[in-house]
Chain A
Amino acid sequence: MKSFTFSQRQLNIVIALCERFFRSENPKDASPSQLNIAAKIDVWLAELSPNLQSLIKMDLWAINWFPILFVRRFRNFLQLTPQEQDCYLCKLEECRFLTLRTMFLALKTIFYLNFWDEEIPLREVGHDFASLLENRGRV
């Protein structure tokens, strides 16, 4: 996949994050790669100002290297096993350090904003996508 926003390494982190963020226990659910979510996030970010893009890249860099602090392994995020990655991301969300937690939550927000705007995942969790798409309201 060619990226508009990221280097190949950054893109690999984005893809790995998508796999962990959007994982489902139901094998029938579409996987993040089937939904092509990483590419959608990439396109969404491509229109952001260069300053914001740099901040997001910094965020990705931090997420990639901070496992050293949290799971006490001298490996970066991409080198962790999927279980270790999950454990690390949960620790980041619950992390005491406000700055780290905030950085993680900012990234999580961008990822989920793009993911839950898609029809398939919303259907999978039982939301009536057609009514949402047409903005059918109460009256």
Chain B
Amino acid sequence: MRLEGSQLQDAYLEDRCDVLVLGSGTAGAIAAMEAARAGKKVILLEEGKYFAPEVKRNFKIAESVRSLYRNQGGMVAFPWGDTPPVVITLGCGAGGSSALTGGVCFRIPDKVHRHWAKELGLTELALDKLLPFYHKVEELFSIRETPQELRSKGVFKFEQGAQRLGITCKPVKRNMTDCRGCSRCNFICPHGAKQSVDIVCLPKAEECGAKLYFEFRATRLIAKNGKVQAVAGEILDSQKKRKGKFTIHADTFVLAMGTVHTAHFLLKNRACNNSGLVGKGLTLHPAIRIYGLFDEVLNSHQGALQSVYVDDFMDDGITLIAIHVPPNIISVTLPGIGPGHREFVRLSKQMAAFGAFYHDQPSGRVWRGLGREPFVTYRLSSQAKAGLVKACQVIGQIYFAAGARQILLPIWSKTVISSPDELKSLTPETVKGKWFEISSYHPLGTARMGLDRHHSVVNQFGQTWDYPNLWISDGATLPTSIGVNSQEPIMALALRNTLHMLEVGNNRQ
């Protein structure tokens, strides 16, 4: 059963269930599906709108951005120190951010698993403990290597350059079946190839009896006698304005509103913050994109959005990954106005693009803010800045080695670079952090897992220390950033946490 706030006549709705899941993104959809499969009465609340898969597949790009991105892609972390504003892209709709991913799937690197298990003492997060869950999600979401024929010409150029410099490109794994390589993954796959949670989990949850409520924004946690009793909030109209209210009672509650909004919800409700850590410890994996301009036409959007990556620089905290979106969206990122801008868009057929992100230390924070949306701050550390400068150097050198005429950097006043020598002049000393154009796709860590209530918000299975029937399952719980794309780790952890939660519930009964 599915309800949409904007279609509802009533101004008030009250309901009851066994398990209430907040957020229909990666973690929430998995939690709802597993709980419904286990025979629980499940309600899943989602703030964003529902569009049937066959409708959203036909969206133009501007329509996808307007309808499926939170704040139309304009959520910003405010800069602290030598930092630019960082655009945090989040999904807001059926499937949350999962519906918008490039499909890239990585397991957490061994080194990070070891750090968590050995140095932080989180033994339940050791690789061998998570391995069965990785296997399960890899099967469920059809995660497999991207075939070579899906690499675009731009990626081949990059590979040529990399080979000349002795750098290895590896194929990425993605959650796909029958991908046609049209590079539109970030704006809803038009061919239904991407196996995101709105395609894989939400229909299964619904089949098993879960009720899915869209345009329902959770705002209030109602607790009594050490237990959460209910969640209340607003029913929204199509412009996201409040048109009514709801209260839903449940035995168990799962927060899966994403790293930023789960922390915001807890802060607004002054809940689970004995440690004072809610909202703190935010990592963003600050990301940049670099273009190489070649003499021949490449049409690099003909290929999978993301197909190869480079992990040679992971010890420096840098992950390089291919990324090429369709020309309509590349043009938005190109410099200039009027005829100058048009010329760049004309040349975009000859461009190849590669991205990089930095494995950052916690230096961001989610605050309560005054309005409905959280206030987020972020400081780009000097190491992160040096990492991003290095990423520009490496990708630039690779493109020049492959024969690029120019490269385009996301750095203010250094946008167009025409020679390797000019590239060499970029150093952490000559480039300021605030000159970068940075975005973030993997915010993590604002309600982290830990061993006790003084140093963490939840235990190793996502159960909050304050309320035994309140669980957190999304990216907020990761104890550190991971240096790779975050969806598969969140999937595996959400699956494990939900199964554990159901087991705990059964034992209690």
Residues of A within 8 A of B (CB): 20-25, 44, 47-52, 86, 89-90, 93-94, 98, 101-102, 105-106, 108-110, 112-114, 116-117, 121-122, 124-128, 131-132, 135-139
Contacts and interface: CB of A to CB of B under 8 A. Distances in A.
Chain B interface: which size bin?
35 or more
Given A24-B342, A112-B332, 11 more contacts: A48-B66, A50-B239, A98-B434, A102-B84, A105-B437, A117-B62, A122-B327, A125-B345, A127-B349, A138-B150, A139-B149
Contact of A112 (B181, B331, B349, B373): B331
22 contacts: A23-B338, A23-B339, A24-B339, A44-B66, A47-B67, A52-B74, A86-B337, A86-B338, A89-B337, A93-B335, A98-B84, A113-B329, A113-B332, A132-B301, A132-B327, A135-B184, A135-B190, A136-B182, A137-B179, A137-B191, A138-B303, A139-B150
A18 to B, nearest CB: 11
A138 B62 CA distance: 23
A122 B74 contact: no
A22 B62 contact: no
Contacts of A108: 337
Counting from the closest, the 9 A-B pairs by CB-CB distance are A137-B182, A138-B181, A137-B180, A137-B181, A23-B338, A135-B182, A125-B346, A116-B331, A117-B62
B71 interface: yes
Nearest to B84: A98
Contacts of A136: 180, 182, 302
Secondary structure at the B interface, as helix, strand, loop or mixed, is: loop
A99 B178 CA distance: 44
A86 B61 CA distance: 28
Interface of B: 60-62, 65-67, 71-72, 74, 76, 79, 84-85, 149-150, 152, 179-184, 190-191, 238-241, 299, 301-304, 326-329, 331-332, 335-339, 341-342, 345-346, 349, 371-373, 412-413, 434, 437
Contacts of B182: 135-138
B412 A135 contact: no
